[in-house]
Amino acid sequence: MPNRGGLTDREAAIDALIRFAWALDEGSSELSASSLTEDATMVLSFTHNGAIPRELTGRDTIVETLMSAVGRPLDTTHMATNIRCEVDGDKAELQAQILAQHFRGGEGLGPEFNDFYLFGNIYKCSIVRADDLWRISKVTIKAAWTQGNPEITQMPKSNQSTLVSCLNSNLKDITARIWRLRAKSTSFGVLVDGG
């Protein structure tokens, strides 16, 4: 079966890993989903400051977790190199080294370049052909080394306070709506809350 874009089977299998990495840097749920099988598994050999469990199963779960913890809130680049890929029919086994640079959102272009978290990772992937697209069925990510500030990968306090402000604002709006409904109901002689 031909692959999209006329890629060889080896190139198409490697493209699944490239889509997986690019999706993190672009914050793209769609691209991430295109790189994974529906029943995909992701295993981490390390904790990502509690933001990502050590093992995730299912494309939707993996995509949403990665986008929430890495793809949307952080400025990142994930660069794949030293890729080894063995194709056997509609299956492939792949190993790659990934340099994964992380900055807090909006700080990646800062001139000081001193508050970052860099991973030197080893990715091992089982990849399968699904129609004309190759997808990762299992990815194991092992951190060989890290450098920098691990707090970078935690949700920034500014995001936490923004989230709390948003929730408080919504709560005030909902409370005001309830009081308006109560006032209307009372003016029409409707009993509210049983009273």
- Block mean pLDDT (10 aa), the chain, length 195: 84 97 94 96 75 80 89 90 97 97 86 82 96 94 90 59 39 55 59 48
Going 66 to 16 to 34 to 39, the CA torsion angle's sign is negative
pLDDT at 52: 62
pLDDT at 162: 36
pLDDT at 107: 86
Burial category of 18 from C-beta neighbours within 10 Å (exposed 0-12, middle 13-18, buried 19 and up): middle
pLDDT at 74: 86
Q: What's the CA gap between 193 and 67, in Å, rounded?
A: 42
pLDDT at 30: 97
pLDDT at 89: 96
pLDDT at 110: 78
Provide the residue ranges of all domains of the chain, joining segments of one domain with +.
9-154, 155-186
CATH code of the domain occupying 9-154: 3.10.450.50
pLDDT at 171: 47
Question: How far, CA to CA in Å, does 150 sit from each of 22, 44, 85, 104, 145?
Answer: 22, 16, 31, 11, 12
pLDDT at 163: 34
| Max Cα-Cα span within the chain | 76
Q: Are 159 and 73 in contact (CB under 8 A)?
A: yes
pLDDT at 81: 96
Neighbours of 177 (CB within 10 A): 10
Q: Which of 162, 120, 167, 160 is nearest to 142 (CA)?
A: 120
Q: Are 17 and 125 in contact (CB under 8 A)?
A: yes
Question: How far, CA to CA in Å, does 67 sit from each of 32, 122, 128, 184?
Answer: 9, 20, 23, 43
pLDDT at 14: 98
> Distance from CA of residue 148 to its chain's centroid?
21
Whether the full predicted model's pTM is greater than 0.85, yes or no, is no
